[in-house]
Amino acid sequence: MTLEVEQRAVGVFTQRSDVELALIDLKNANYPMHKVSIVARNAEHESDIAGVEVKEHTGNKAEEGAVVGAATGGTVGGLSGLLIGLGLMAIPTIGPIMLAGATATTIATALAGGAIGAAAGSLGGALIGLGIPEDEAKIYSDLVHQGYYLVIVDGNEREIIIAEQIFRKRGIRDWGIYQTSTPVKSRYKNAAGLLFNRQNVEQALTQLQDSGFSMNQVSVVSSGAFLDEEFDRVNFYSRDDWDSLGIPKDITDTYQYRMNLGDYLIVISGTELEIAAARKILEASNVQEFNVYSPAVVQAV
């Protein structure tokens, strides 16, 4: 299975006005705005960023290092369809921050569930979970603490080049580009689980897609036909043609038995943070037998 090489680019802006102008430029260039996210400190005092409404949530539990309210989905305000507005979260040592955008959805979902260990209490840890090296992640976290606007952009090589050209004109700094397709590194994992019926599969895929999850990191295995044209870039397999997924032998027997009964297997590739966020989405679709694993090496014949 050959995946399109996806990249993740990160940088910071000093001023809110620069962020606005950069986002408007991206929008005018027909950039896929669901691939753009913003993290900013003290955003509760800002009514919006480039027309993206900031909604303040109640139920502050900052003293416990928890989320300030639940992160909510949905596209809001101003430039229609620009970013996904999430609202505020409390991060220890930083305080309330605003997260908006699809990758921010991943951060918020994982933090809200406390599913990523040490990263749950730290923006830097969350960035590491997205595949950003530790030293760079600390720099970005510190800059957000100082009041800078962190921008995260996902895309293929061409899209990242377009974003960089636009952002450079608007004064972005500390720009870094990282690979997000699944390299052989310990922090990248696979996860798999069973869904009972096609309706649950469609619900899960729709929610993953709407949250901005890269669909070329998603595979579905079924015993029957599946209309793969309904979901762009999802990898579909029959139960007799899924060896390339590298699922360990000790769990394949259970999955094979359940697929013989008509269940569907969904497989996710990504960082620890991405898998934690995907798991919460899949649990809403009643996923069963969910396992996280390092994919087995499949030998070419």
Q: Which of 169, 182, 174 is nearest to 219 (CA)?
A: 182
Residue 301 lies in a domain: no
Query: Which residues constitute the domain of residue 165?
Result: 7-179
Domain final residue pick, 157, 179, 201:
179
What is the chain's pLDDT, residue by residue, as a tens digit (301 residues)?
344 567 899 999 998 889 889 999 998 998 888 788 888 876 444 444 444 444 443 233 222 333 333 333 333 333 234 454 556 666 665 667 777 777 776 777 666 655 444 444 578 878 887 888 889 999 998 998 888 999 999 888 899 999 999 999 999 999 999 876 444 344 568 899 999 998 999 999 988 887 767 787 898 998 776 655 567 678 888 877 777 788 888 888 889 888 888 899 999 988 777 787 888 889 989 999 999 887 654 443 3
Residue 300 lies in a domain: no
Same domain, 119 and 231: no
How many domains would you assign to the chain?
Answer: 2
Tokens 């029957």 correspond to 224
Residue 1 lies in a domain: no
Residue 299 lies in a domain: no
Q: Which residues in 272-284 are b (16+ Cβ under 10 Å) and which e? A: bbbbbbbbebbee
Same domain, 161 and 200: no
Is the pTM higher than 0.75? no
Same domain, 129 and 194: no
Same domain, 133 and 238: no
Q: Are 35 and 212 in contact (CB under 8 A)?
A: yes
